[in-house]
Structure 1
Amino acid sequence: MTGAEPRPYRIAVIGTGPRGLAVVERLAARLAEAPTAVPVELYAMDAVQVGPGRIWRTSQPRWLLMNTPAGEVTMFSGPPDDGPTRAGAGPSLAQWWQAFDPAGHPHAYAPRALYGQYMRYVLNRVDGGLPGWARLHRFYAQVADVHENPDGRYRLTLHDGRQLVVDRVVLTTGHARPTLDPPQRALAEFAATRPHLRYLRGDSAADLPLARIPARARVGVLGLGLSFYDVLIALTVGRGGTFTEDAGGALHYRASGREPHVLAGSRSGIPILARGRNQKPGEHAYRPRLFTHERMLAARARGPLDFGTDVLPWLLAEVDLVYLAAVIRRRFGADVADRFVAEAEAATAGPGDRDADPRAVLHRIAGRLGVGDLPPVDLYAWSRRFAGRDFSGPDEFHRELAALLRHDLDLAEEGNVDGPFKACLDAIRDVRGVIRTAVDYRGLTPASHRDEFLGWFVPVSASLTTGPPRERQRQLLALVEAGVLGVVGPELRWGADPETDAFYVESPRVAGSRSTVDVLIDARIPGPDLRRETGLLALLRDRGLLTNHVNAGPDGDFVTGGVSVTRSPFHPVRADGRPEQGMYVLGIPTEHTRWFTQVGSGRPGTWGDFIADADAIAGDALRGAPLDEIAELAEPVTVAEPVGSGG
């Protein structure tokens, strides 16, 4: 190349957890496929750890586990081939893990820190496979602000004042720490004036100052979801406690003496239930028969949907289909189960009557095949087993809760294919893409979006489908038996009591359950809300580059709190209504514009939304770099040196 060196084309990815890393991986894969006429520089930027980000950083304790089997996780957009590991061709988490550790079974649940190591490995392989005209810079820095330049580019200001001008900006900032809402602020202020009390706001368990909680302190935990399990393990195993199994297979907890006493509760009073024993290969791809993309697209063509009327009946029909097919397979064999599925699919084919009940059709067919004794699946009843019930005291409640959890473990052991209960719940995970087709981008009326979908379906389905490995539930039972953990009961209430100078937790359904606690931990991960954002996103909001997604309707608007973005490739919608063409927002900040954006990996063997979204951004971002002959690499910028990482 002669003459002056061309200005490099620069793309900054701000936030490098799974979403940011996926974009970098697809950028690298596309660069390898299509040379550019100018050098390309990629900037992977993270304030905590480039590659894993904050949530998956490699320094967190090994007792914190993923809740997805390792065989179902990949950060490469294609499987290994005969060439070197590189963007577009690399091992799944399980394949990489198995190469150096026999514990790395496809059905095993990896430590989160190990997944972070895998992501560093992916980033290193992506970096090593870049063509000669491309360079990856790793910035271990917080991006404090992003300004538009008059020439259409963007000026990034780092926390230390350094600046960098880039052509495209990808915001994949992940889980936020929003400002406290008024009730949370009142609890924090109550603790701030009483040195013997502590209030810990919701966050990743690895980021909570749990080590500061004294031994034998009384700790209240709000929420019984995945973060609750992490907090519980940190306060027990993290303090030297151990679990042992007796000759009969029962698990027991041996305390270290440094544990606090934990009292936890939630709306349902039931810890999020364990996932079924995994029987599906990592490449498993479920084909919906009744609740299909085509059916939901046809429904949306009529206008905004009512979740309870237009979506839920078909979703529950798919759940019933899987449940009944598993029962029929168990009773009469696979051939009869296959016939049931085929007849059900044929009987519900076509657009159908909007008022028809597809579940009734399924159960009529099942009855003809000898399974007429089963009621339809009732997600609410399954998730709220104690709804409306009263208990004479904590002992009675704990006995019933223990029986429920042991029964759930038996159901989980049956598997997520052979076991009807866990198989049909796993189907909800399998059809998340169809749910998104129905609800994303104002697919529902504002009231239905807020009340029926987010207010009812999302928490109910989460309590049944997003649970921890079975071992965690066994450990929970052992901790209750050891007296380290008490579950308060349903309809949890909590607050600050000036008379006792302490916090309290109680269940109105369990007599004598009110207890004072010294520490109150909110174990509910805060959802995204642009109105309560701080830092970079707040600055971009205040300047009109980012706006709230509003589901508007004739009967009122629903301000969701999610960042408003266009459809793929996900440009943010400015305050003036125009898309910001050089910027992209992907993942958790856009929740409620799109649903279930917290997914943290691709799946081997198939391009789901996770990889497809990253590829759409990569393709659009590179469109600004002219594709021509191979370019020479310009000298690296002096704003920061690339920082290597292990793995």
Structure 2
Amino acid sequence: MPVTNTLAQPPGGTSKTVIFIGGGPRAAMVLERLAANRAGLFSGRLAVHVVEPHAPGSGRIWRQDQSPLLKLNSRAADVTMFTDDSVECAGPAVAGPSLVQWAAGVVDGSITDVPVPTEELARQLAGLRPETFPTRQLQSMYLEWFFRRTVRALGPQVPVTVHRDHAVEVTAEGNGYLVRLDSGAQLRGDAVVVAVGHTDSVPEPASTRFAGFAARHKLFHTPPAYTNDVDFSALQPGQEAIVSGMGLAFVDLMVLLMEGRGGRFAEAPGGALRYLPSGKEPVLWAGSRRGVPYRSKISAELSGDPPGPPRYLTAGAVAALHEQHGGLDFRQHLWPLLAKDAAFGYYRELFTGHPGRVTLPWSAFVPRFDAVPWYSDERRRLVNQAVPRAADRLEFEELDHPLAGMAFAGPGDMQAAVSTHIREDLRLRDGGANSETLGLFLALLGVYFELGRLVPMDLLTPSSRRQVSGWWHGFFSYVDSGPPASRLREMLALHDAGYLRFLGPALQVDTDEARGLFTASSPQTGHTVAAAALIEARLPPPAVAGSANPLLRTLHESGLGAEEHTGAGPAAAGTGKLLVDSRARLVGADGGTRPGLYAVGPATSGWGGGAFARPNSNAAPFRDSDALARQILTDVAAPASAAADELSRTRLGAAVNLLHSSLA
């Protein structure tokens, strides 16, 4: 049954309706911005419908009914859903507690509008500290509380109806839309926001081949999926399994198959961990493109000068590049600026926080660094002169692929190399002696968000869009969005206990029909592992036509939505993402946009900003959500004739662009 905040229908006059398809944290953030901006932009009656099969606010990924062992990869002090004064947006900021402040309020009784927590969640609330990496269960409580608070902020004059259902189709109906639900119910709205988050997709050809091979030979195989939703019960104790992927999905897998099966970790001498098995664990052989796990989160504090805004990736620099080149190539035009800004943050902390490790004062280094391009011999000579230890010099290609170019005599050498890499990562990031790693983290985070603010996707060349959603997002995640350091210590303990083995970089997975086994190898060892189980430890890639979500498929089939493509003509390739413009409006098959039809989140071609952010960081999710909320209110306030004119203009513009493209 639908649930409402107060009223079934808004009082008096003509009503406008906004429908959110998906009710996770990104939708909740846009909804909060609607509440904050409504009074200044829309004076009429407004109703909101939220279609979400899981609990509104948390959605599928952050829902409460998942393993209590799974954690965020952000500290409690670094998570907020509230727009603060740092956010550069047109709408008003509305203060609210971060996750750690909210937990303190629940414990001291100043925040009372939360369900009575279980004994375990009450313990987590009481023990939460700013540096704690909280469980996803605890985060779900915060997100659901935020959603309820937002509904109250809208007030009884804006009823919010939640439908615990799936949306399966959107069709245009006059100047509005009809949304059909899986239950058969239909909703009519003036605006629709598609915010479905991470969705499943039809397996890619390689996964389909692996699944068929597993079925023929009665093996265990899981395609890319959200790890908590996979049934691993068929994996037997002691069974060897090949794992493709060493990112966050792999971390979840490791937790569920080890500690989740009754094993536990104990402190060992020297601060290391020792794994105490339950006897139910499989043995994991893990590899990936890099062959190493994501870099751990940093526990250091800055010792030197405070960080500032990006120095090289600026509005003026982007405008000059656009004027000179037209469409911007990510690798050629933007990455050198991003790299230089990220390195500036790293070296600022190294020079000002650890002056004993450099030979020049920061004031002398900066003008010389300003004057040279990132990819230049002059920059390398400057750094070599000023930074005596090679280990203190930053080269992004080496950071990205730490095992590249190494030769290994066999699997034993590979085990030692990956273990050494993990220990070195912990030395650099889990302590205060190397706070320059935090300088890099903060600078990279800054340019990640600034890139989305300064460079609309429309400015990028088609091929660059794939680079952004592929390499750039992957590199940022590897450096800045890794697991807590405790997870890497657990990896080492599992490796020492024999339950985790490393396959190496450039992982190649195949099948052996003669033996009826999966195989995996790294070209840097020449060693092949064979096993009766294969786990593809990563989220499914985005998909439109091949989505397991019927809504995305029907948007594509009807032409209301289109897939983003890179390249042109026969060379064009789809990214699997819904194409949106710089205002988050869904682009249709005809190249035009319709007023009131939007899409946000990882299923779209828009800049990915996450579902929540660090306080006081002018974070992109808040800026984008505010802009979208204001766009929605402006669109629903426009008379029907204006909406029709806008639709005609966008279709005419699309036709003109198509004509120009064909003439070119």
For normalisation by structure 1, the TM-score amounts to 0.85
Question: 1:256: which partner in 2?
Answer: 278
Residues 126-181 of structure 1 show CA distances to partners (whole Å, capped at 9, x for unaligned) of 122323311111111111111211x3221111111111211111000111211111
Q: How does 1:568-587 map to 2 (within 5 A)?
A: 568=583, 570-587=584-601
Give 2:598's aligned amino acid.
Y
Q: Which residue of 1 aligns with 2:405?
A: 388
Residues 259 and 484, structure 1, Cα contact 8 Å, conserved in 2: yes
Q: Which runs of 5+ in 1 are unaligned?
A: 81-85, 628-647
Q: Is the 8 A contact 1:50 1:139 kept in 2?
A: no
Distance 1:342 1:504, change over 3 A: closer
- 1:586 CA displacement: 0.7
Kept after mapping to 2: 8 A contact 1:12/1:169: yes
- Asked if structure 2 preserves the Cα contact closer than 8 Å seen for 1:31 and 1:131, the reply is no
Q: What does residue 647 of structure 2 align with?
A: none
> CA separation of 1:34/1:539 partners in 2, compared to 1, >3 Å: closer, same or farther?
closer
Question: Residue 169 in 1 paired to residue 192 in 2?
Answer: yes
Tell me which residue corresponds to 1:539.
554
1:29 maps to 2:69: no
Question: Which residues in structure 2 correspond to 1:460-479 (within 5 Å)?
Answer: 460-479=475-494
Match of 1:124 among 138, 143, 148: 148
Letter in 1 for 2:447: V
Q: Does the 8 Å contact 1:296/1:437 carry over to 2?
A: no
* Residue equivalent to 1:403: 420
Q: 2:319 maps to what in 1?
A: 297
Instruction: Find the counterpart in structure 2 of residue 147 from structure 1.
Output: 171
Q: Which amino acid aligns with 1:463?
A: Y
How far 1:307 moved relative to its partner? 3.0
Aligned partner of 2:147: which letter?
L
Give RMSD over aligned pairs: 3.1
Unaligned runs of 5+ in 2: 1-10, 87-91, 108-124, 639-664
Q: Give the helix-richer structure, 1 or 2.
A: 2
Partners of 1:275 and 1:422 within 8 A in 2: no
Q: Is the 8 A contact 1:219 1:520 kept in 2?
A: yes
Tell whether 2:517 aligns with 1:502: yes
8 Å CA contact 2:609–2:620 kept in 1: the answer is no
Is 1:621 aligned with 2:632? yes
Taking a change above 3 Å as real, the CA distance of residues 280 and 267 of structure 1, as seen in their structure-2 partners, is same
Alignment of 1:281-430 (within 5 A): 286-302=308-324, 303-332=326-355, 339-340=363-364, 343=367, 347-348=370-371, 356-357=373-374, 370-371=386-387, 377-415=394-432, 419-430=435-446
Q: Which residue does 2:615 correspond to in 1?
A: 604
Q: Is the 8 A contact 2:302 2:435 kept in 1?
A: no
The equivalent residue for 1:160 is 183
User: How many Å separate the matches in 1 of 2:366 and 2:443?
Assistant: 17
Partners of 2:564 and 2:77 lie apart in 1 by 35
Answer yes or no: is the 8 Å Cα contact 2:300–2:434 preserved in 1.
Answer: no
Letter in 1 for 2:265: F
The CA deviation at 1:532 is 2.0
Deviates more, 1:260-269 or 1:522-531: 522-531
Partner Cα distance (1:603, 1:275) in 2: 14
User: Equivalent residues in 2 for 1:442-461 (5 A)?
Assistant: 442-450=458-466, 456-461=471-476
Distance change in 2, residues 1:397/1:268 (3 Å)? same
**Deviation, structure 1 residue 464:** 2.6
User: Matched residues in 2 for 1:5 and 1:324: separation?
Assistant: 61
The residue identity in structure 1 corresponding to 2:243 is: V
C-alpha distance after superposition, 1:379-416 (max 9, x if no partner): 2222322223332322222122211211110000245x
Task: Report the CA distance between 1:498 and its aligned residue.
Answer: 1.9
Structure 2 equivalent of residue 52 of structure 1: 58
d(CA) in 2 for partners of 1:145, 1:555: 30
Show the 5 A alignment for 1:187-226.
187-194=210-217, 196-226=218-248
Residue of structure 1 equivalent to 2:13: 6
Letter in 2 for 1:14: I
- 1:249-308 deviation line (CA, Å, top 9, x unaligned): 121100011111111111221122212215379xx9741122334312321232122333
* Structure 1 Cα separation of the partners of residues 438 and 376 of structure 2: 19
Judged with a 3 Å threshold, the aligned counterparts in structure 2 of structure 1 residues 553 and 339 are, in CA distance, closer, same or farther, namely farther
Q: Percent identity?
A: 28
Structure 1 pair 444/554, CA: closer, same or farther in 2 (3 Å)? farther
User: What is the one-letter code of the residue matched to 1:579?
Assistant: T
Count of aligned pairs: 600
Displacement of 1:62: 1.8
> Residue 347 of structure 2 aligns to which amino acid in structure 1?
L
